[in-house]
Amino acid sequence: MDLSLKELLSEQGRRDPYAFYARLHEHGMALALGPNDAYAVVVHGYEAVDRLLRDPNFRMLDSEYLDRSGTRWRDHAAVRTLQDSIFFANGPDHVRVRRMFSQAFTARRVASLESAILRLTDQFLDRLEEQGAGGATVDFMSVFALPLPSDVIGEMLGVPEADLGFFPARVRRFGDILEIGHHSWHEVTAADTAAAELTDYFSTLLAHRREEPRDDLISALVQAQAADPGQLSDTELVANLITMFNAGFVTTTHLLGNGLALLVQRPEALAALRDDPSLAPSYVEEILRYEPPVHFGVRFAAEDSEVAGVGVSKGASVLVLMGAANRDPSRFPDPDTFDPLREDNQHLSFSAGPHYCLGAALSRLEGQLALPRLLRRFPKLALVGEPRARNQLMLRGYDSLPVTLI
């Protein structure tokens, strides 16, 4: 197949990647790319993506990998922060850091947040009602979908409520460099500035928690670090707090926004969830499958290998399209239909294998609690016009979603 990622990375391709994904599925589960593409192979079939994400031979693009092409990346605070985090760690380093965070990021701690999620949900529903009074248009994203998960992850970590307004703009600038394709000088500079400011903030908060521990995740991590010196450096701890905070609310923000847009455009499905909140877990899984916030990942081959019959040379990078795997017709019947009661819905939106998302349970819980509560509170909620086109494949969602409530 004569295929190039230029089609996916075009303006139209970013707006509607699913047409490109459908073409990929007509040609197997993986394809070799041409010399003008940044990656050697694209992997898009469900079985191939699932296997690759679990295969220790296919690794994250860590610092050692980046250094092979030069060390200029070290001049950028945003890239350094990402490379110091669990998101780009491999092997023993990944196991070491993940073990530390898993000790603090427990099922008990997530479950204990249910009352906080309900309290914050009602708080932001009140704010929606206040700003949407009299039929006024209100932006669902800025008033509800963004601040709710931001406040939830802030409460879990132990970020003071008064500081939460500091994060959204910086998180957005930091996250921009994760998008596939070329980044402008302005985007890189803005991301570096955001990374430096976030580093300063969390370094200061860590110092406070060492002096005055509380019942929060940061205090638990500080105590775990003190109990096992040498297992987690301050640089790693700060980098992981930044990336955890970012990932902990931006993906859930888009779960809520993407989910609401899908449901409002499907009145029967919306009414069913509003009348029966017990359907929420199934609805959340289908939203995540059908419109995932994260469409891709990148790996490199540590040794000569193959994926779905396609050879991958040692050191070659591979584009892994979880968004395409979620629409694989060999895995999901009628994959381009939104079916909130779909059975056996084991999507790959939270990845798989060693890098399976630590915050998956929290994101699911927020969606399951917030969406039915929103729909019951505002049974006449409606979109104002068509949602604006989305043009990102990483952290894919709406910047704005204007709605009316009555």
Task: Evaluate if residue 103 carries a pLDDT over 80.
Answer: no
| Of 72-81, 241-250, 266-275, 295-304, the least confident | 241-250
Q: pLDDT per residue over 119-164, tens digit each?
A: 999 999 999 999 999 999 999 999 999 999 999 999 989 999 999 9
CA angle 243, 178, 361 (to 5 degrees): 45
CA-to-CA separations, 204 to 85, 144, 174, 208, 209, in angstroms, rounded: 18, 28, 19, 6, 9
**Mean pLDDT computed over 2-15:** 89
CA dist., res. 241 & res. 239, Å (int): 5
- Calculate the average pLDDT of the chain: 94
Q: Measured in Å, how far apart are the chain's first and last C-alpha atoms?
A: 51
Confidence of residue 104 (pLDDT cuts 50, 70, 90): low
CA dist., res. 218 & res. 209, Å (int): 7
Q: pLDDT per residue over 252-276, tens digit each?
A: 999 999 999 999 999 999 999 999 9
Q: pLDDT per residue over 274-311, tens digit each?
A: 999 999 999 999 999 999 999 999 999 999 999 999 99
Looking at the structure, give the CATH architecture of the domain made up of residues 6-404: Orthogonal Bundle (1.10)
Give pTM, 2 decimals: 0.95
